[in-house]
Structures are given as structure tokens and as C-alpha cells.
Amino acid sequence: MLERFKVPEKDRVYVSHERIRAVTEAIFRHSGVPASEAAGSTDVLIKNDLRGVESHGVSNGLRRYVSEYGSGKLNPTPNFKVTRESKTTMTIDADRALGTQVGPWAMQQAIDRAKEFGMGAVAVTNSGHLAGCGYYAMMAAQQGMIGHCMTAGGSHQTVPTWGSKPVMGTNPIAWAAPARKMPPFLFDVATTQVAGNKIGLARRTGAKIMGGWIADLEGEPILEEIDPPNNGEYYLLHIGGTRENGSHKGFGLALMNEIICNELSGYGPGPIRRTPGGHFFQAYDIEAFTDREKFLDDMDELLKYIADVPPAKGFERVVYAGLLEDEDEKKRTNDGIPYHREVIEWFESYCAEAGIECDLR
């Protein structure tokens, strides 16, 4: 994540992952989520925070989830229904589960199928926010497989190339692959110039929005650096930004995501249905293609080669996707996670009202 999105030093409250985990689990349980699934959802969010992906941790997400449980939009005790399956695939109606509640289960189903048949995939509909895709892809990598995850949640946020009206959401994608000694590959991005949550983060951290990241309400890319606008006052741009700079590539990736998460899952066009879209989880068993031990050695050789590339002028080092996240995870596991004090204040005030013990300082 770019430095500008990190919490400024003066606003940081460091909290151990054990403490924030305990309180987050208690908040999920307070919303009616069974204990083991509360722990599962919490693990998704805290792993994101540990890996430095705070756009998809507790800071932005939790208050929204609590409100969606409160309003009945999310079902805390869903029954997942298999609507179709084949030897390698499953399609699931998640009964209004939060994405973090169905996601770990769905990814494990894909992994189990891959163990038996070489590949496995699970498509999920009727589910809430997934909190990014990286966690699920990494589940496969941790079990010695290549993992892939996408979610098409949200719509009408992103202007297509040459268009004046928004169509899709930020449609994030992730792939992960294990290595032996080097930190694993973990590629986990929105198919927009910046993730939607990052505009909110920028408002909190006081960061600027770069030219070419977002568009005005006529769909014109804003090319100068500006303060983050309020919700409803901008649209996002696909990866690339402008057509000449390749935004059709980001737009095409986002549409691939929409087609697999929403049409292949049987849900239907997200931009037209306008309700929460689908998720997609896939695992490739390395042993189905090649020798896993050789793969791990080759990955070490490849990733070390990249990390050893001499940096360009003005930069300190070259990193691959997953390297900084792995370093963040080790550092934050030891030092605690730097939350914005405003986030901690929300936890404290919510817990006081709900009668939940909240020992974060």
C-alpha cells in the first residue's frame, strides 16, 4: 500500500493482534454470529491488518458489518445451500452471509476438490462484503496450492473506458503461490486505480488523491492532485486511468471478474441487479501439473532474482507482490498493529454501548 494511505505517526495507537482479535470476535458474536464463524471472519480482517492491507481490515469494515447485521441485511446464522455442483465445482447460495463468513469455507471446498481432481472452484452468490481477496488465495498457498479469488461486490462505482456513467464496482482479484524460503507470492488488488476503501482511508489520514485516479460525475478523469472528495462526489477509474494509458485493460479485467462472479455463478448482471454480487474461489493443485518440491525451489529462485534486481534511481529496492505484506505481518505480529485513534475510539464507544469488554490501549 502506498505510504500516503498509512496512518500518520501522530494518530497511531498500536494494538496487539491478540487484543484486537478478541474484541472483534466479541463484536461479531454480539451481532449473533456463532463463535467459530465469528473467529473465522475475525481472522480474515486481522490478517489483512497484519499484512498492511488496512483498507480491508477492521478500520473500514467492521462498523459497516455491524450495521448490516443490525438492519437485517446480513444473516448472522446462514445456511449455505448448494445450488449446483460437479466433480470440481460448487455453486453456493450463501443465505445473506457476510463474505468473510462464507469465504473461508468456500475456499476450503475448492482446495479439497483440487486435492482430488487437480483443480477446484466455488462460486458464491447472495453474500455480503468479502474484505478483499488475498486472504482466500493465501489459504490455498498455505496448503501448497495456487489460489485465486475474485469478488464482484458493489456496482456503479467505476466508469468504463470512454464512458460517462459508472457500471461496475472495484472488482478485486487475487492470486497466491507458495515458495520455500522466500515469502509467498500474494497479488491482491482492486481492478481500479485505487481501491474504493482507500478514498475513505485518505480522508482519515489526510492524504491527497493523485491525478488520474478518479473521475468527476461526468466521467472525466480528474488529472490534477486533489483532496479526497466525499462519497457520491466522484467515480473510480479502472487500472490505467485513461484510454491512452491503457484503462481498457483494467476495464477488461473488471468485466472478466463480473462475468465469472456474477454470470457464471448464475446470479446475473451486477450492474443491473444492483444488489450484492458474487465471489469466486479457485485452487490449482501443483502436484497435478509438476513436482511440488521442484516448484518450491523454482519459486525461491525466481522471487529472489526479482528481489535482487537493482533499484531505479530514487528507489531503495525492488519488491514483488506479497514481499512487503510478509514483512509487515512479521513486524506487526511483534509490535502491534498501528490503528488510527479514531478507529480505536469507535471500538471503545461501540463496546461501551453493547456491554463488550474492550481492552485495546
Residue 216 or 335 with smaller CB distance to a second copy: 216
- Considering only residues 35, 82, 162, 333, which one is a binding residue for a second copy as defined by CB under 8 A? 162
**Dihedral angle, C-alpha 106, 110, 111, 115, nearest 10 °:** 150
Q: How far is the CB of 149 from a second copy (least distance, A)?
A: 12
For residue 239, what is its C-alpha cell? 487500472
- Considering only residues 149, 167, 343, 360, which one is a binding residue for a second copy as defined by CB under 8 A? 167
**Edge-to-edge strand order for the sheet containing 214-215?**
168-168, 155-159, 235-237, 214-215
Binding to a second copy (CB under 8 A) within 14-73 occurs at none
* Dist CA 82 CA 146 (whole Å): 24
* Dist CA 317 CA 36 (whole Å): 41
Q: Is 226 an interacting residue with respect to a second copy (CB under 8 A)?
A: no
Largest CA distance in the chain: 55
> What separation in angstroms does the CA of 122 have from each of 38, 62, 87, 89, 287?
22, 25, 11, 6, 20
How many residues at the interface with a second copy, by CB under 8 A? 89
> What separation in angstroms does the CA of 9 have from each of 3, 199, 205?
12, 19, 10
- Considering only residues 82, 223, 309, 354, which one is a binding residue for a second copy as defined by CB under 8 A? 309
- Considering only residues 65, 80, 251, 281, which one is a binding residue for a second copy as defined by CB under 8 A? 251
Q: How far is the CB of 138 from a second copy (least distance, A)?
A: 14
Q: How far is the CB of 183 from a second copy (least distance, A)?
A: 13
- Per-residue interface string for the shown chain with a second copy, residues 123-152, x marking contact by CB under 8 A: x----------------------x------
Residue 15 or 189 with smaller CB distance to a second copy: 189
Residue 118 or 200 with smaller CB distance to a second copy: 118
- Considering only residues 274, 294, 330, 361, which one is a binding residue for a second copy as defined by CB under 8 A? 294
| C-beta of residue 124 within 8 angstroms of C-beta of residue 280 | yes
Binding to a second copy (CB under 8 A) within 178-217 occurs at 185, 187, 189, 193, 210, 212
Residue among 163, 169, 158, 90 at smallest CA distance from 133: 169
Q: How far is the CB of 185 from a second copy (least distance, A)?
A: 6
Position 197: which residue type?
N
The span of 11-19, 25-33, 157-165, 342-350 binding a second copy (CB under 8 A) equals 157-165
Q: Is 80 an interacting residue with respect to a second copy (CB under 8 A)?
A: no
For residue 296, what is its C-alpha cell? 518450491
Q: Is 86 an interacting residue with respect to a second copy (CB under 8 A)?
A: yes
**Pair type for strands 173-177 and 145-151:** antiparallel
